[in-house]
Amino acid sequence: AERKLLPALYHRQMEGQFTEPTRIIGASRASLSHDEYRRFASDALKEHLKSGEFNEAEVEKFTSRLYYVSVDAKSEQGWDVLKKLLEEGKDRTRAFYLAVGPAIFSDISEKIRDHKLITRNTRIVVEKPIGRDLASATELNDTIGKVFREE
């Protein structure tokens, strides 16, 4: 997130590709407040953007979109908090971007389903690699496909 994802999302904002009101919700096991996550993101942008790309006003606008939830993929911790945060704007497109190891794609997909976070406008994006070979990639695809339909 620090080196690639946050700068990429910042660039999307700079290109005017976010509709209002876009929110970006970071989630991991670490315990952070929204403000701590925003400071983390601002520091990451200062460190990882190319020279001349850091615009204080745009960074402030970008970080105001950021929220954070401490969630555990293998337990119930944090999922109700995430659900509550997603209630506002529940008809908007939701994209769950899984920048995690393939071993927990299934756990996260099932938690998203079990906590009723899937709407007709929900998408899931998984970061590669997806498996070690064709057999494991097929297994992961099938596992995720049990929760998220291809179309």
pLDDT per residue as tens digits for the range 15-59? 999 988 899 999 999 999 999 999 999 999 999 999 999 999 999
Per-residue tokens: 128: 């590669």
Q: What global pTM score does this model have?
A: 0.87
Task: For the chain, give every domain's residue range.
Answer: 1-70, 92-150
List pLDDT tens digits, range 65-117: 999 999 999 999 999 999 999 988 778 899 999 988 888 888 999 999 999 99
Instruction: Determine the 3-state secondary structure of 27 from DSSP.
Output: strand
- CATH match of 1-70 with 2.60.40.3670: no
148 secondary structure, DSSP code: S
Q: Are the beta carbons of 72 and 81 closer than 8 angstroms? A: no
Instruction: Tell me which H or E stretch contains 24.
Output: strand 24-28
The label of the residue with tokens 């939701």 reads: 94
H or E element at residue 98: strand 94-98
User: Among residues 67, 71, 145, 150, which one has the least CA distance to residue 109?
Assistant: 145
